[in-house]
Structure 1
Amino acid sequence: MTASFPELNLRAREIFRLTVEAYIQTGAPVGSKVLAGSKGLNLSSASVRAVLADLERAGLLSAPHTSAGRMPTQHGLRLFVDGIMQVSEPTAAERLAIQQQLANPGPLEDALSRASELLASLSAHAGVVMMPAREPELQQIKLVPLGDRRALVIMVGQDGMVENRFIEIADGTSAATLEQVSNYVTARLAGRTLAQAAAAMRRELADGRDALDAAAHTLAEQGIATLSQDAARRPILIVRGQARLLDDAALEDLERVRSLIDDIERSEQVARLLDNARQAQAAQIFIGAENKLFSLSGSSVIASPYRDREGRVIGVVGVIGPTRLNYARLVPMVDFTAQSLGQSLDRSAGRVSD
């Protein structure tokens, strides 16, 4: 039998709340003596034990050992998250750290990597950022010489997304040649994905209908091949902070942590899980066996979509850790990071288009 939040009386709700919060803080089962000493409870240990027994029978708590305290079940954690938890917004210092870390322009992967590292650092768990597989329609491509036989390719999507890539170029390739290729490719991008434009340009290049000089012709062929291969490597999934999962509490359950780290390494499955949060308006919480990927490791995921200036979902950011995640603190933090990442990518797009 499992209980729902409205079925609990005020005393049971308060003891349940204190039990879950203490468990999240320590990672250890919570005893009646600890709860009886909680501020404002004013109950004897015997009275607390009786309520804990009722909560266990209701399927909200469990006792790993007969003499140990109680800890929330997966159903209990879900009840706590959905009906009892009071979120705590990021502090001013945390907000400033997030905004500053994501303020710098740069390649897309750099921005995603910074967001993932930031969440790992602030949460003390694993941070993850995903950009789903897609073929965006492009608006502009610009080639910028970098020296050392390399050029930076700036790709601007019609949705404002900006991605940077590096390609190798022949010695002596002039800025004029790069500009000629940039203009040639951009003129053929309207309403097309890179794959569609590349197919059309290959036909033109093969038939000699491109009106490019020899150097630009060669560079266009090389660039189209490189960028087409790069587009096939999606989705982009960046995970940081796996080592943070090995905290003191985890040392008592190394097998579970090893299982969790193995799960995280399965990038395609993680991306599929995060994709479930794309249509949400705010952070989504997946607890334990609610998702098949982390059912064995008994882990939780907090994930929130980030959007472009038009409100369209670009990808998902999140935190992965044990079920005793500090949901009240991390849910608004993941949401704020998602908002800040979307704003940062929009600013980057504005700088390039200008």
Structure 2
Amino acid sequence: MLSRITTLPPGVGPTGPTRLRPLLDGDLLSVPELLRAAVEPVLAIGHRLGDDEDVAVGPFLRRRFGAAVTERVVDPLLGNLHAADVQQLSLRACAPALVTAAQEGAPLSPSVWRQRSEALPATWRRLRGRCRPPAPSAMPLLNWPGGISTLVHALAGRARRHGASIQACTPVRAVSRDQDLLIVHAEEASIPADAVVLAVPAAVASALLTATSTRAATVLAGQSSTSVVTALARFPRSAVPAELAGVNGMLVASRSQRALKAATLLSNKWPHINKADDFLIRLSAGRHGGLDVTGVPDDRLVRDMLADLTALTGLGGATDVLVHRWPDTVPLQLVGHLDRVARARRVLAEDAPGVYLAGCAVDGVGMSSCVSSGDRAAEDVMAFLPAITTAGAAQGGRIGT
């Protein structure tokens, strides 16, 4: 196991290497480990994934690339992304780019790189910004000048211009049906709706649907989640070691047994928050199968994460720390996740027409996954509304989200 910080070579992604040549110039893998990873195309022969089969990412990639790639690449990248154990994560849900090659018994590396290259132009068409799209060979870290909240405010503004009413900080207790209308029961009012989109954690959706579809509520109650904690730490810029110049962040493998699982050097990564005197770093802890942060006090977590940061980078002396907890909100896409989501959507269509599921709890983490999930929900609602209008069921109802 590596006990030092190692630069991730180009062409190495969350599901393994897309190119092997850059690995030769780095020190992430030893020569025997590189040779083991290089025989992946040969090992692919005879190992086919069934059409309806789902397997765990970790064992699958371990068989293809070897233990070293799984432990030093897949675990810290994909595992930290999902705050989960890669030995349990669903291949179909968390690494869909690998599925076609896995079904065909084909090498994985060309498949991943081809699909990633093809996806870049589509992503840029969907989320156009001020920057020009990079070349497909690049691995961009891009953002709006004002941060990701720019997208949220733009979407909210556009929705309001089209007549939408956004009621933030309004807790909802349940969703029920009154004849042909759905009723969203908020704390201070009941809101009639023709359609409802639930983009909430699975446990919350389960509770909201108890009166509408007990079958869907039961399926969603079986969806696992985990808790994470993030801490925004401020350091004097004069304390930052020169070796961290240009470093955007680091990921910690689960085998390290450290509290810190990831650190993002925000002042290096995003120019719009790069201040002259301060240096900001976001630290994170908590992972399914690893440290359970639920009962750990803030002061202890901060102490342990800062100690790990100092041990790994030499940086210490934080002047301020802001802690934020995300209790039971990170969805765990374990083996069989897509089948469970499909079952929940199927019974919802039967028991509660007009109620739809969206968001990371069902369709995956990350901006692109959430955008695609929102598109699907919007298309479902728009297809549903003409049907109920034709049937004469919609009389002044509204869409609830």
Give the TM-score range, shorter chain: under 0.3
Counting helix residues as a fraction of each chain, which structure ranks higher?
1
User: TM (normalized to structure 2)?
Assistant: 0.25
Higher alpha-carbon Rg: 1
User: TM (normalized to structure 1)?
Assistant: 0.27
